[in-house]
């Protein structure tokens, strides 16, 4: 076995039978769930405590304000362009994956589409935080609500991806054997 075969065996383009794909999927949803609007969840928990130091509350409010302003600025400046590009990429992935049968495109679509929903939810949460000038308990509640929405999207995404991946692996096993 030569070097190229070893590398291509390690980086298999059949995504659903590849351990690296499932590790990447787990890391994607784990980190997405941990970083709520760009703020680490442990920072929210620390600030939510009754006996939290004033500095942790101030830090949280500053971080939420910075990330909210950043998200809204990006959407305001280039939101339409980003939306068009994301829709184009997702359409290409869906067509090449589900119409032409490319497994790598299916895998990327099953990761990208739910992340686009999380991006939309992040924009809506950021807009609500800014418009209502949320602070204190109301801010913590909105951050928690956004995290739950992200986790629900993640759970559905992982379930659908796992079911589709098993179907793909079983059909390859049946057709290949």
Q: Provide the pLDDT confidence category of residue 3 given band limits of 50, 70 and 90.
A: confident
Alpha-carbon gap, residue 36 to 34, rounded angstroms = 6
- How many other CB atoms are found less than 10 A from the CB of residue 37? 22
Strand partners, 40: 35
- In this prediction, residue 169 has a pLDDT band, given cuts at 50, 70 and 90, of confident
Domain boundaries, the chain: 61-161
**Per-residue pLDDT tens over the stretch 88-145:** 999 999 999 999 989 999 999 999 999 999 999 999 999 999 999 999 899 999 999 9
| pLDDT, tens digit (0-9, with 9 covering 90-100), for 61-94 | 999 999 999 999 999 999 999 999 999 999 999 9
């Amino acid at each position: 076995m030569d070097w190229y075969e070893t590398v291509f065996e390690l980086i298999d383009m059949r995504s659903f039978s590849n351990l690296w794909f499932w590790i990447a999927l787990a890391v994607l949803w784990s980190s997405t769930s941990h970083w709520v609007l760009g703020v680490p969840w442990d920072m929210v928990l620390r600030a939510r405590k009754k006996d939290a130091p004033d500095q942790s509350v101030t830090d949280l409010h500053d971080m939420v304000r910075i990330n909210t302003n950043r998200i809204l600025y990006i959407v305001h400046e280039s939101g339409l362009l980003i939306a068009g590009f994301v829709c184009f990429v997702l359409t290409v992935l869906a067509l090449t994956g589900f119409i032409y049968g490319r497994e790598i495109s299916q895998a990327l679509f099953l990761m990208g589409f739910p992340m686009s929903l999380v991006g939309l939810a992040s924009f809506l949460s950021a807009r609500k935080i800014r418009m209502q000038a949320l602070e204190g308990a109301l801010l913590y509640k909105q951050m928690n609500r956004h995290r739950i929405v992200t986790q629900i999207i993640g759970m559905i995404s992982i379930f659908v991806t796992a079911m589709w991946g098993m179907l793909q692996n079983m059909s390859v096993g049946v057709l290949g054997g």
